Structure 1
């Protein structure tokens, strides 16, 4: 894959933020962000429900808006990080500044990952809507197409639920970043 299209660093940096201060992965956070959306979608699919074109259209609209908003937030976080100088160990506020820089960088990684999940949602929505509009006369191919469309719909819902979880995580991190810095000055 071209280096310009390689997203593996975005994913690995994001995953590195889902751990405690000692670097131990937080199983509960992994469950909420990754496994819970899959379990909810499996429950939804097993109930016989199907994704409609209207819901897919709403998801593509929301994901597109959130992609743009997250890009703007990414710029703001980047500007905030650029304004903070790396603290020296002699600085009495070293730990506070170090934690602030770390929180800003982790928020940056989470925002980048959320942009990625939003773009994935948009792509899956377009694919889902396009495939839902295809009709084939051959029954065997129609069954395969229907199953593939349902699979894409399930993946779309899972990615969308993950995006919602990430938006909540970013909101909490941004809020904590602001309130922790404000209260310590």
Structure 2
């Protein structure tokens, strides 16, 4: 795969943020960000839910809007990191006390970078899933049986993937908002 589209570093970086403050692996984070979306996806299959054009359109709009918003938040994170580094260097040059929370803030900004980048990729995956659903849905004939390949793909492939990505994206966005709140709130 071309290094220009290789996203494994972003995915690994995002997974690495699922850790405790002391650096150990957090099973609660893993359960929250993996098991909960899988549970919703499984429930969508059991309940027979299937994407339709309206829901697919809504998810595409959701993904597109959040991609744009998250790109602007990524710029904010970069700006905050630059300001933090400048303040650290200025304090070091002037022999002033260094912010005792510098390393914690720096780590939080790095994790935010990976979380936001992962959310942008998730939004793009959601849009691609809805596009694939629309392509498969265009092959469904009006009087097709419930066992036609496009309907099976919709119910057993595209719908669970869309549900998984949507739930995971929502949880990740909540995590990003919480981290931004912690970082930017007035003290």
TM-score category of the 2 structures, normalised to the smaller one: 0.7 to 0.9
**Structure 1: gaps spanning 5 or more residues:** none
Aligned to 1:154: 160
User: How many Å separate the matches in 2 of 1:23 and 1:103?
Assistant: 12
| Residue 145 (str. 1) matches residue 158 (str. 2) | no
Please list every run of 5 or more consecutive structure 2 residues that lacks an aligned counterpart in the other structure: none
* 1:94 CA displacement: 4.5
Offset of residue 32 of structure 1:
1.2
Could you say if the C-alpha distance between residues 94 and 135 of structure 1 is closer, same or farther in structure 2, counting changes exceeding 3 Å?
A: same
The answer to whether the 8 Å contact 2:63/2:127 transfers is yes
Range with greater deviation from structure 2 (167-176 or 47-56) = 47-56
- 1:166 paired to 2:166: no
- Output the CA distance in 2 between the equivalents of 1:27 and 1:91: 40
How many angstroms apart in 2 are the aligned matches of 1:149 and 1:47? 14
Pairing 1:103–2:105 present: no
Cα distance in 2, alignment partners of residues 171 and 147 from structure 1: 37
Point out the more displaced range, 60-69 or 32-41.
32-41
Distance 1:48 1:15 in 2: 31
TM-score (norm 2): 0.87
Measure the CA separation in 1 of the matches of 2:100 and 2:21: 13
Distance 2:96 2:114 in 1: 27
1: CA distance between counterparts of 2:140 and 2:84?
Answer: 57
Instruction: Tell me how far apart the structure 1 counterparts of residues 140 and 53 of structure 2 sit (CA, whole Å).
Output: 15
Q: Higher helix fraction: Structure 1 or Structure 2? A: 1
1:46 aligns with 2:51: no
Give the distance between the partners of 1:45 and 1:115, measured in 2 at CA: 26
What TM-score does the superposition give when structure 1 sets the normalisation length? 0.88
Which runs of structure 2 are paired with 1:36-185 in the superposition (5 Å)? 36-85=36-85, 86=88, 92-135=97-140, 143-150=148-155, 151-179=157-185, 182-183=186-187
